[in-house]
Amino acid sequence: MQAKNEISDRFLEAYAHLQKSGKVADKKDFAQEIGISTSMMTEIHKGRSNVGVLAIQNIVTTFHVNADWLLTGQGDMFKSEHRADAVGTLAKNPQEGIPLIPASAMAGALSGDIAIMDYECERYVVPAFAGADFLIRVKGDSMTPTYLSGDIVACKRVPLTDIFFQWNKAYILDTNQGGIIKRVKPGSDAQHIRIISDNAAYDPFELPISQIYHIALVIGIIRLE
């Protein structure tokens, strides 16, 4: 294995690539994804600390960075099966394809806000998801085994005016508690919906429709094995 400072340099190179491609928004977002503090990420970035085992493990498992490349400098930065062609064809024209947005841009993507174009998102041409408005990565385990953390879901925005829910379908919901991916079932009255996780460890709960700001239907999934 090479010196730790060389591993840290490649770690930061991978972070820069992930940020540029829109998979993470900033150091804080990245640090949360890999289970370290923002201050530790700053220390690594300034060269005052070396990357630790936990961060190495999590950048490999969460973002599919090639461990051989990270530890030795040999091979490609990302595992071959997790490059762009595993998602679809990387769009060459910035006006075509479906944007793969960072989680921090979810509200803008759900609302159709033009500000989403301010993000340097990679865009993919995925014929099976021609009607999708955006792609986003799943976080957490509340929807396992259907949707795993790291999966990419294709989403189609749904207007809130006179909304017709497809009961038991999965939706991305922008709520006062943040963005969530859940199944939706009828609530106790017309003003509520019942939120269901596929993971039985998470209890269902009711959510007032008035607390939903934007919504998108999940129309497909890409799993990178």
Query: For 140, left (φ over 0), alpha (ψ -120 to 50), or beta?
Result: left
Nearest CA-CA partner of 42 in 23, 26, 56: 26
Average pLDDT value for residue range 102-131: 63
- Residues 45 and 27: their CA atoms lie apart, in Å, by 9
- Portion of the chain with pLDDT greater than 70, in percent: 79
Domains present along the chain, CATH in parentheses:
4-82 (1.10.260.40), 86-222 (2.10.109.10)
Q: Which helix (H) or strand (E) holds 137?
A: strand 134-137
Q: What are the tens digits of pLDDT across the range 11-29?
A: 999 998 888 766 778 889 8
* pLDDT score of 160: 78
Asked if residue 84 has pLDDT above 80, the reply is no
Mean pLDDT for all residues in the chain: 80
**Cis, bond preceding 145 (omega within 30 deg of 0):** yes
Average pLDDT value for residue range 42-63: 88
Q: Which of 56-60, 110-114, 115-119, 218-222 has the lowest mean pLDDT?
A: 115-119
Asked if residue 118 has pLDDT above 50, the reply is no
